[in-house]
Amino acid sequence: MDQNPGNSRVPERRSKPRMKCAYPAMIRASSVDGKKFEENATVLNLSATGVYMLLNRSIQKGQDVSLRIAFPTGSLELGSSKLATTGVVVRTEPLSEGQLGVAVRIQNYRFM
C-alpha cells in the first residue's frame, strides 16, 4: 500500500542515469590514518560521473582514489574489459557487518 498519496516522490538529483551492478573492483587510496592501501571492492552502481561501492576499510570524504573496475564480457574466451578511473570520495556511510558504502565522483577514466 502506498503510504504517500499523490505524486510525492523525491525528484532525482543525479544528472546521469545509474546502472545497478555487482562488478569486482580494486581501489588504491590512503586510509584514515594516512597509510596507502590496495583492496578489493564491489561496485554496486555506476554512472558516467560516479561509482558507489562496498569497501571493508575506512576512507575519508575528499580522499583521492584510483579504481580498476572489471566488466564481464559474456565470453569466457575474452575475459573482461576494465575501466581505470581516478576520482574523489564524496560520501561514505557505515553499513552492516563492518562494510562501508563509498560514493566516488569520477574525474578521469580510460578503458583497458
Q: Domain residue spans in the chain?
A: 19-111
The string of pLDDT tens digits covering residues 40-60 is 999 999 999 999 999 998 889
The string of pLDDT tens digits covering residues 57-86 is 888 999 999 999 998 876 556 667 889 999
E-strand stretches of 31-99: 36-46, 50-55, 64-72, 80-94
pLDDT at position 1: 39
Inter-residue contact 60 to 90 (CB < 8 Å): no
What is residue 96's three-state secondary structure? helix
Please state which of the four CATH numbers 3.50.50.60, 3.30.420.40, 2.40.10.220, 2.40.30.110 is assigned to the domain occupying 19-111. Answer: 2.40.10.220
> Model's pTM, two decimal places?
0.80
Q: Mean per-residue pLDDT for 16-44? A: 91
Look-up: residue for cell 557505515? 94
pLDDT at position 45: 95
Closest CA to 109 of 12, 54, 43, 61: 43
Q: At 96, list the grid cell.
A: 552492516
Question: Which residues, listed in sequence order, are joined to residue 101 by a DSSP beta bridge?
Answer: 54, 93
